[in-house]
Amino acid sequence: MGATQRDCAVVIIGAGPCGLTLAIELGRRRIPVIVLEERTSRARFPAANATQARTMEHYRRLGFADEIRAQGLPPDYPTDIAYFDRYTRHELARFRLPSSRTARDIVKTLSGAWSAAELPHRCSQMYVERVLRAHAEAMETVSIRTGWRAMAVRQTADAVAVEAEQIDPVGQDIKPASGAANPGSGQHQILRASYAIGADGGGSPTRKALGYELVGESGIVRDFMGGRMFAMHLRSPDLYRVIPHAPAWQYWAVNRERRAVLISLNGRDEFVVHTQLTPGQQAGQISNAAAIAMFHVVLGAELDVELIARSTWNAGYTLVAEKFQHGRILLAGDAVHLFTPTGGLGYNTAVEDAVNLGWKLAAALKGWAGAGLIDSYECERQAIARRNTGYARKFADSVGLFIPPPELEDDSEAGETARKRAGEHLDAHARFEFNIPGITFGGRYDGSPIIVSDGTLPPPDTVNDYVPTACPGGRAPHLWLEDGRSLYDALGLEFTVLRLGPSPRDATQFAAAAATLGIPLATVHLASEEARDLYEADLALIRPDQIVAWRGDASADAMDVLRRASGHLSCY
Ligand SMILES: Cc1cc2nc3c(=O)[nH]c(=O)nc-3n(C[C@H](O)[C@H](O)[C@H](O)COP(=O)(O)OP(=O)(O)OC[C@H]3O[C@@H](n4cnc5c(N)ncnc54)[C@H](O)[C@@H]3O)c2cc1C
């Protein structure tokens, strides 16, 4: 497996949101990549519903946040979360959230916890993936091989070999990566590369082949969101007419017969509904008519609907892999963490894995990474996976362990009291689960070997509040620039040194050290007092993933700082 024989630099197994984002991160750095995806159909079950604000900020950095924000619901459709006993009966609680147009307009006016370049976008993964796929395909150095399955991955000290089989001859090589042979159809091929990434989902054959276990809790039982789930993708032009309440993005049904969550996909006629199977109920034995009858129970009415697709999944996982890396084989996304989808964190955590790994792989391949840079991926992302799966579990407990009282649906005084009490619980729950700047912006890499601590402590990690801080290890605090751009729009592709305040320190030592180490470094001057106050330092070093690597008032130790941040020093 010598350098001359390589088909590409990185083979990515899986073209879900994780694999596609990683391909885009590598493609924009002109790294040759082959993505293997066994699924031939581009249609996918709707799955994830929410792109969190931090993921939207990454999409903005990658250049397509507006394109993503245009997907899904119409621009003026409210993204309310509403709770009912049954959808045609009593509304119990409603958490009002803005439409995508309002979200784009108000972001520039927000401060404090929501001081951000982007707000969340509530839209199905099936639409998001189309955009990710189109951008990955447009990259000159990225080749996506649809209908190709990775069968085995082997490695030596300096290379990997991925055995791939074309399982569906309809799948075609969309564009050969530089140097890669066009595989033709029905083929078996060994792809040689420097790294292989298992972004191959919850069943991850790559993780299993490495022998890494998922550690944590599974099989949690709850009244809802704890057990075997049954999902239906429905088409119904009449559903809005039948539901006598204001439109919402998520409609939760809370009653003692059947619970469910219905999500509007396009604001017109497409929906997904998830309900929980009763113990012993087998999805395979549920006819389409019986499935639709389950929907009628939560609707509280009969209505002709078209069943586009159906699926099953498990709610109640809080699982993180014991290892994310074995030499040149790395794992990311659902391959290494499985969530209960409450909080909408699974896909977002998968995208952030790709963001963290992308620049590190590219740096290693371009020769400016130290030996410890890629190894820092597991240390940084495993801790976040444990944190985020833990938060998702709390949300699932908060909504799923709530037991509706027997009189909830009664048209009586007792029923009204029960609905009021249920509404109070659900209202508080909605604010807990769906207003989460603390989770989305507050993920940190404290203790990472490539973060240079300045001895300060970050604010406590909380769900619903985020205190912007430039304490090294967290997201670079955001601000809007005088010319209307986001600070993030001004950062370089790789590292950036910020010079802060009206009389900034000299940063030439950073530029000189970066040149010596071959590290691409941009310098940005933020002349306002506000910026200096926000960062509480004269200088700050921002990583390619917009994490503060270091802050300080002198650049005398620039060489040490950059060596540490690029993985050349294992301890500082
Ligand atoms: C009902 C439901 C609701 C959800 N809601 C949310 C939400 O609101 N927010 C959120 O953040 N997350 C949510 N999730 C989770 C989200 O869907 C996943 O976390 C996300 O898809 C993970 O992305 P991934 O790229 O890691 O894996 P996947 O999307 O699973 O992609 C892996 C890909 O690898 C391919 N593959 C597997 N093996 C091979 C092989 N050997 N060779 C080639 N290809 C292979 C698969 O075909 C697949 O396309 C939800 C999930 C479910 C089920």
Ligand 1 neighbourhood includes 200 CB (under 6 angstroms): yes
Question: In the predicted model, is pLDDT for residue 401 greater than 50?
Answer: yes
CATH fold of 444-565: Glutaredoxin (3.40.30)
pLDDT one-digit tens code per residue, 452-481: 999 999 999 999 999 999 999 999 999 999
Q: Map residue 341 onto helix, strand or coil.
A: coil
Largest CA distance in the chain: 79
Give the residue whose CA is nearest to atom 6 of ligand 1.
Answer: 48
User: What are the domain boundaries of the chain?
Assistant: 3-71+123-215+319-387, 73-117+227-315+405-443, 444-565
pLDDT at 29 over 50: yes
Q: Is 14 in the pocket of ligand 1 (CB under 6 A)?
A: yes
The Cα–Cα gap between 458 and 229 comes to 39
Task: Average the pLDDT over 486-504 and give the result.
Answer: 97
SS3 482: coil
- What is the atom index within ligand 1 of the atom nearest the CA of 52? 11
What pLDDT, on a 0 to 100 scale, did the predictor assign at position 219? 86
State yes or no: pLDDT of 154 exceeds 80.
Answer: yes
**What whole-number distance in Å separates Cα of residue 44 and Cα of residue 458?**
40
Which CATH fold would you assign to the domain 73-117+227-315+405-443? D-Amino Acid Oxidase; Chain A, domain 2 (3.30.9)
pLDDT band at 79 (very low <50, low <70, confident <90, very high): very high
Three-class SS of residue 65?
helix
Is the Cβ atom of 373 under 6 angstroms away from ligand 1? no
Q: For 285, phi and psi rounded to 5 degrees?
A: -95, 5
Give the pLDDT confidence score for residue 570 in this predicted structure. 65
Which residues face 51 on adjacent strands?
121
Answer whether 37 contacts ligand 1 (Cβ < 6 A): yes
Q: What is the CA radius of gyration of the chain?
A: 24
Q: Write down the pLDDT at residue 56.
A: 98
Which atom of ligand 1 lies nearest, measured to the CA of 39?
47
- Closest-CA residue, ligand 1 atom 52, reads 47
- SS3 per-residue string spanning 396-444: HHHHHCCCCCCCCCCCCHHHHHHHHHHHHHHHHHHHHHHCCHHHHHHCC
Mean pLDDT of the chain: 94
**Amino acid letter, 33:** V
pLDDT, tens only, 95-117: 999 999 999 999 999 999 999 99
Cβ neighbours for 28, distance < 8 A, ≥ 6 positions apart: 62, 139, 493
Is residue 501 in contact with ligand 1, taking CB distance under 6 Å? no
**Separation of CA 446 and ligand 1 centre (Å):** 28
Ligand 1 neighbour 299 (Cβ under 6 A)? no
> Does the beta carbon of 149 sit less than 6 angstroms from any atom of ligand 1?
yes
Cβ within 8 Å of residue 394, ≥6 positions away:
463
Q: How many helices (H) and strands (E) does the chain have?
A: 16, 25
Is any ligand 1 atom within 6 A of the Cβ of residue 150? Answer: yes
Fold matches, 73-117+227-315+405-443 and 444-565 = no
Q: Of 166, 168, 170, 195, whose CA–CA distance to 181 is shortest?
A: 166
pLDDT at residue number 4:
53
**Burial annotation 19-37 (CB, 10 A radius, 16+ → b, else e):** bbbbbbbbbbbbbbbbbbb
- Ligand 1 binding pocket includes 207 (Cβ within 6 Å): no
What's the CATH architecture for 3-71+123-215+319-387?
3-Layer(bba) Sandwich (3.50)
- Determine the distance separating the centroid of ligand 1 and the alpha carbon of 18, expressed in angstroms: 8
Instruction: Give the mean model confidence (pLDDT) for residues 15-27.
Output: 98
pLDDT band at residue 173, thresholds of 50, 70 and 90?
A: very low
CA distance 253 to 82: 9
pLDDT at 183 over 80: no
- pLDDT exceeds cutoff 80 at 7: yes
Nearest CA to ligand 1 atom 16: 347
Task: Name the pTM for this structure.
Answer: 0.95
The model's pLDDT over 525-565, given as tens digits with 9 standing for 90+, comes to 999 999 999 999 999 999 999 999 999 988 779 999 999 99
Sequence-ordered alpha helix ranges (H) in 98-142: 100-106, 125-138
Using the predicted structure, report yes or no on whether residue 3 has a pLDDT greater than 50. no
Closest Cα to atom 1 of ligand 1: 47
**Beta-bridge mates of residue 94:** 82
